[in-house]
Amino acid sequence: MTNSNRSPSAGGLSAYRAANRGRFSEANRLLSARHRDSRASSTASIRRSNRQIVAVLPSILSPTRRADLEALRRTMVEFEDAHLLWKGSTQGGTITAIDVLQEVTRGARATVTVPLRLADSWEIDVIEVEVPENNEIQELTKSARARHRGLRS
């Protein structure tokens, strides 16, 4: 990687490219710890809520209320997917082009705004990535670098 590719923006682009290929763990490693923790916390909260609904269902006497709560739980199950946000942003791996619209760096974190060209629409998305020491993103493994070349704008 050249020095020009070692920036928060490059990290953000790499994260979306990895997610578009279904490599969500790789994409998550490029997010800031705060962003990763926020996503994990949201997923855990939804799972807890769903478990609480399941636990209380037998005690609900009204069949209508029980059915409503069960319908709510079924709706919320999809939000238990830890990778739902990536799947939504990439529309199931349909990113055809990606660029950086804006990068704002504050201390050890940078917010990267990207326009995503999807198979049938455009979407603007924002993620937070770490600003590694000396403004260099984590060195990718050789196999990850080879995959990184797979999706170019």
User: Where is pLDDT greater, at 121 or 68?
Assistant: 68
Strands 95-98 and 122-130: unpaired
pLDDT, residue 108, reads 81
Compute the distance between CA of residue 30 and CA of residue 13 in angstroms, rounded to an integer: 9
Residue among 32, 21, 5, 26 nearest 127 (CA): 32
pLDDT, residue 6, reads 63
To the nearest 10 degrees (0 to 180), the angle between helices 63-77 and 33-56 is 160
Q: What is the pLDDT of residues 80-111, one digit of tens each?
A: 999 998 998 888 889 999 988 888 888 888 88
Q: What is the pLDDT of residues 19-72, one digit of tens each?
A: 999 999 999 988 888 888 998 999 999 999 999 999 999 999 999 999 999 999
**Predicted confidence (pLDDT) at residue 132 exceeds the cutoff of 90:** no
CB atoms within 10 A of CB 106: 9
- Write down the domain spans for the chain: 3-147
